Structure 1
Amino acid sequence: MKLETLSFDWDNYVGKLKSFDRSQIISIMDDYYNSNLSVAKIISKYSISRGIRNLSKEFPLIYIEEKCPYDKSNLVREMPSRNGNSTRIPKCTICGHELKRNCNCKGCQEKNRKIREQKRKIIISAYALNTNKVKYEDLSVSSKIYLSALLHAGLNDEASKISGEKIIEEKLSPTYEFDRIILEHLLSENIILVDPMSPIEAFSVNDLSIAYYIFKVNYLINVEDDSEGIDSLEYPDRSNIIQYKEECLAMWKQIALYECLEYLVEQMREARFEFNPQKKTKLVINHLIEEYSIGQIWNLIYGSVNHAAAWYQKSNVSKKHAANSVITILNNRGDRAKAENWKLNPYHRSYDNKLSQLSMVFFDSILQIGSEGYEKKPSINIIGQ
């Protein structure tokens, strides 16, 4: 290493070699980089304190070509070790700016403040709250139930907005897919609006586009309150909902689909099968929902997954082949159970599988049938009893 070509920061030197004069330090560095002497022999040669563990870290810092963006002075970095490694991040000796993404110097703090301020202006412009409020009485049955469940899951303590992160924590619906369906439905109807004052990190802003992360932003309720205020949205009058029996039956079947998908994914994971439910899976489960309760389909799922797992263990089929057979087995077992009039006892939810807010709102508050929502086949005759 040609030490004479380097520019050292002697003015701010605080290393453990400061008792030596500059020429001696240069000699030590020359032996370190340009001789075959071991570090131990160098320490002995110059009577250096044996308490030094890493000699190269005690050398003066050197100026590099990279300049500080705020005061234009050259940054400094530590000398590398003999193997060429250098872990210290280049730094400005004047303002403390460091050459790293999350530098916290005053200059970077001010720069980030201006960037965030500009992003906020863009977000407010893109998601300006200029939409007229919708009337509650004009909402569909699905919208009223979805909104009730969403408020149960995500309403903050001040009852002023819905927290996107809380929606996940409190489990809005049985699956993330269903969560997204609910949010996109309510957004499309202007029943909820993206809160432009959500955390900056909840948005993706660049020169070409702006978008938001659906489970990170907060939402504002855009429904006209009646005399009871938000209570009537979170706890709707069931009598005004259950009179629409066809819509309630459709909701029951939709919840049943995702309850069964959640259980299927759980069982596949326990069997260590890779699985991502696609259209055929939903077709099979929807077919079963016409004949069986949620709990009975859980029974069929449990047996089907275990049958496929046993087949994999006892034969030469691949794990992927065995996993792919589960839906076919499930469909066949469902048809055979009907043809042979099997007595299918409804299975129960596992203790570590949290009940969703949507399922509780619908079965406990709207239909008021509780566990029967899982034990009985979806039927219009049960609604409003």
Structure 2
Amino acid sequence: MSNEKIHKDLSHLSESQIKELIYRYYENENVKTLLVEFDVHVPPGKLVKLFPPVSHQDYPCPNCGALLYSNQKSKTNKVPTSIHELFCLNCGHTNNLSNHCTCKYCLSLKKIEKERIEKDRQDREKRISKIHEVIENAFNINNNIPLDFDELCFKHKVYLSAICKALLVENYTSTRQIQPFELLTYIKPLSPSDQYTTLMYSELVKQRILIPSPISDITAFVLEDQNGNFNFLDDFPYEFCLDKTWYIINVTCNEGFDSLIKKILLGNYYSSEINSSEALVLWKDIAKQECISYFEYQLSTVHFNTQFGKKTNIIIEKLLEYFSVSQVYALIWKEVASASKAYLEHRFSKNYAKNIAIHGVERYGERALENGWEIIKYSRNREVPQSILSLVLFNLVLLIYDDGFNEPPNIKLL
């Protein structure tokens, strides 16, 4: 036991006396008695702090190689010594959890790590700069010939109206930018379903009505893993995440861009003589998607599988030849309730009960037509709100308002 390890308050004791004091302390002898006997003048609770530290043969100091030590614990402390409590008496290294050791070894490690982080940052910035350069070259707006708005098909005009209504930047004149879909703040969805929203974007991008903007975050074009490595999509940079990308409106008109945006946002481009057939097809598409979304919602409330195949789509399309969306809602609500009751009473599987609901909607619709039954018209459900696309088509473009929901899709209203 070296002298530098002996506390000054125990310096009057010999090595054997100190060992005896420590032994008797841990044998639970009265501390006050020990203090008197060994002529130690500290409060009883402070005695253990005077004991020399304990060496740990299996833990050399990573700095100087000397053995690490730990302070002795109170006899009432039964918690094993942690590696983070160890320290070096030779060089001052500590293993503490806070990683605030200031020995030369740890300071050099921190310096090396800081330099590594800075180098990684600089390397990442260089890689990002090169990626941005490729993206900018691929989607340079100056290399694109704007499309004439009047030459677009009616459906694409409506798609563009809905997207601009939801995501066009405030100061659009100089930038012509549309924000990423992931930044949508409207309470209402852009379209009746995520799949249809993807379809809208895909068609507009394919036709170059929307082109990716170079200001997009690179994560729209490449995936970054936890180690900072970039994984490129198969057809970089022409394959990208539709919902993460900023877009530029690659459309123009003779009256200028401001007039174009006004026309797009107000829906002032419908002609019944020219667009009625296209408008009817789009009405049917939106109506079908609204029915499917409502069907999925009702199935989810009774914890049934919400995945549909082609057959259900065909059934909905057939019903919409005769019934409005609001009436199909009524059929769906009634048949899902009946299927749920059958599942609970007869213990059918959920998939079988779901099929009961699908066939029930079709069968009840057919019987209603055969017998001339009047199907009640349901209101929209707040959990399945009207989409921005639906609002744009019915309220701005076609000006038929709630008839788009309460009437079967038909050319007479167009």
Question: Fold match, TM over 0.5?
Answer: yes
Equivalent residue, structure 2, for 1:158: 171
| 3-state SS of paired residue (1:93) | helix
Among candidates 68, 84, 91, match of residue 57 of structure 1: 84
Residues 270, 398 of structure 2: 8 Å contact kept: no
Match of 2:246 in 1: 218
C-alpha contact 1:253 1:289 (8 A) present in aligned 2: yes
Structure 1 residue 369: Cα displacement: 1.6
- SS where residue 26 of structure 1 aligns? strand
- Whether the 8 Å contact between 2:61 and 2:68 is mirrored in structure 1 is no
Structure 1 alignment gaps of length 5 or more: 11-21, 30-41, 62-75, 81-90
Residues 369 and 209 (structure 1 numbering): CA distance in 2 closer, same or farther, change over 3 Å? closer
Residue 243 of structure 1, CA deviation: 3.9
* 1:143 and 2:130 aligned: no
Partners of 1:193 and 1:220 within 8 A in 2: yes
Query: In 2, are the aligned partners of 1:59 and 1:79 still within 8 Å (CA)?
Result: yes
Instruction: Indicate the percent of aligned positions where both proteins have the same amino acid.
Output: 24
Partners in 1 of 2:160 and 2:94 — Cα distance? 57
Partner of 1:187: 205
Secondary structure of 2:211's partner? Answer: strand
In 2, distance between residues paired with 1:125 and 1:92? Answer: 42
SS in 2 for 1:220: strand
Give the Å deviation of 1:225.
3.4
In the alignment, residue 304 of structure 2 is paired with which amino acid? F
Contact conserved, 2:329 with 2:378, CA < 8 A, in 1?
A: yes
Distance change (3 Å), C-alpha of 1:317 and 1:239? closer
Of the candidates 108, 129, 144, which is equivalent to residue 117 of structure 1?
A: 129
Give the drift of 1:58: 2.7
> Is this contact kept in 2: 1:255–1:359, CA < 8 A?
yes
Partner of 2:43: none
1:93 matched to 2:147: no
How has the CA–CA distance of structure 1 residues 286 and 60 changed in structure 2, closer, same or farther, with 3 Å as cutoff?
farther
After superposition, the Cα gap between the structure-2 partners of 1:128 and 1:53, relative to the gap in structure 1 and judged at 3 Å, is farther
CA apart distance, 1:183: 0.8
Amino acid at match of 1:277: F
Task: Establish whether residue 133 from structure 1 lines up as the match of residue 146 from structure 2.
Answer: yes
User: Could you say if the C-alpha distance between residues 209 and 246 of structure 1 is closer, same or farther in structure 2, counting changes exceeding 3 Å?
Assistant: closer
Partner Cα separation in structure 2 for residue 250 and residue 164 of structure 1: 28
Determine which structure has the larger helix proportion and give its number.
Answer: 2
Tell me the secondary structure at the aligned position of residue 243 of structure 2.
Answer: coil
For the aligned residues, what is the CA RMSD?
3.2
1:269: Cα distance to partner? 0.8
Asked if the contact 2:178–2:246 (Cα under 8 Å) also holds between the matched residues in 1, the reply is yes
Q: Residue 65 of structure 1 aligns with which residue?
A: none
User: How far apart are residue 121 of structure 1 and its match?
Assistant: 2.1
After TM superposition, the score normalised by the length of structure 1 is 0.76
Structure 1 contact 97–108 (Cα < 8 Å) conserved: no
Question: Counterpart amino acid of 2:111?
Answer: I
Query: Aligned in 2, Cα 1:57/1:209: closer, same or farther, shift over 3 Å?
Result: farther
CA contact (8 A) 2:70 2:86 kept: no
User: What residue in structure 2 maps to residue 294 of structure 1?
Assistant: 325
Residues 155 and 262 (structure 1 numbering): CA distance in 2 closer, same or farther, change over 3 Å? Answer: same
Contact 2:168–2:178 (Cα < 8 Å) also in 1: yes
Structure 2 CA distance for aligned equivalents of residues 281 and 54 of structure 1: 66
For residue 216 of structure 2, what is the aligned residue in structure 1?
198
Distance 1:77 1:44 in 2: 21
Q: Could you list the per-position Cα deviations for residues 135-171 of structure 1 after superposition, in whole angstroms to 9, with x for gaps in the alignment?
A: 1111111111111111111111222311123575432
Q: 1:301 to 1:54 in 2, by over 3 A?
A: farther
CA contact (8 A) 1:141 1:241 kept: no
Encode CA deviations 1:180-236: one digit per residue, 9 max, x unaligned.
111111112111111122012222264664231111111110001332142122223
Please list every run of 5 or more consecutive structure 2 residues that lacks an aligned counterpart in the other structure.
1-55, 98-107, 224-230
Q: Distance in 2 between matches of 1:288 and 1:261?
A: 12
8 Å contact from structure 2 (residues 86, 94) kept in 1: no
Aligned length: 326
Deviation by residue 1:240-297 (Cα, 9 ceiling, x = unmatched): 3664211111111011011111111111111111221221111111011101001001
Q: Contact 1:191–1:223 at 8 Å: present in 2 too? A: yes
TM value normalised by structure 2: 0.71
